[in-house]
Amino acid sequence: MALDILLLYGSYRQGRMGIRLADYMAAGFEALGHKAMLIDAKAVGLPMLDLRYSDYAPGEAPAAMAALADRLSAADAFVFVAGEYNRGMQPGLKNLVDHYLKEFDRRPAAIASYSAGRFAGVN
């Protein structure tokens, strides 16, 4: 059974390195017969969190936020491609994730961590 897998990536930096990992993983999932889609926080362009998607009245959320909510709800699984910045995840990824809640419910998720340092993924 083919799965619909979303890869969520959140770096906004110039010359960002993790996009290569995200693209590599998406290609790997597709080679296994799954549907893989990269959700790039920089490209989605959500505002800094003020209201979650669920805080808006029906039909009043920004169009990009509503479209992403529908896409998240339709996915079978998630992979969070998370760079380590100051012993935490990228602010862009955290901001993207924090806009949603129930859209992530009851589906498997994985974390693919990367860092330029020798302790990549340890923290």
Domain ranges of the chain: 4-114
Q: What is the CATH number of domain 4-114?
A: 3.40.50.360
Residue type, 28: G
- The pair of structure tokens assigned to 90 is 């990228």
pTM tops 0.85, yes or no: yes
- The pair of structure tokens assigned to 117 is 């340092």
Length of the chain: 123
**pLDDT tens for the chain, residues 1 to 123:** 999 999 999 998 888 889 999 999 999 999 999 999 999 999 999 999 999 999 999 999 999 999 999 999 999 999 999 988 777 888 999 999 999 999 999 999 999 998 877 766 665
Q: Report how far residue 84's alpha carbon sits from residue 119's, in angstroms, rounded to the nearest whole number.
A: 10
Tell me whether residue 83 is exposed, middle or buried, using C-beta atoms within 10 angstroms of its C-beta: 0 to 12, 13 to 18, 19 or more: buried
Angle formed at CA 79 by CA 77 and CA 80, multiple of 5 degrees: 140
Q: Report how far residue 66's alpha carbon sits from residue 72's, in angstroms, rounded to the nearest whole number.
A: 10
Q: Report how far residue 95's alpha carbon sits from residue 48's, in angstroms, rounded to the nearest whole number.
A: 6
Query: Cβ–Cβ contacts within 10 Å for residue 121, how many?
Result: 13
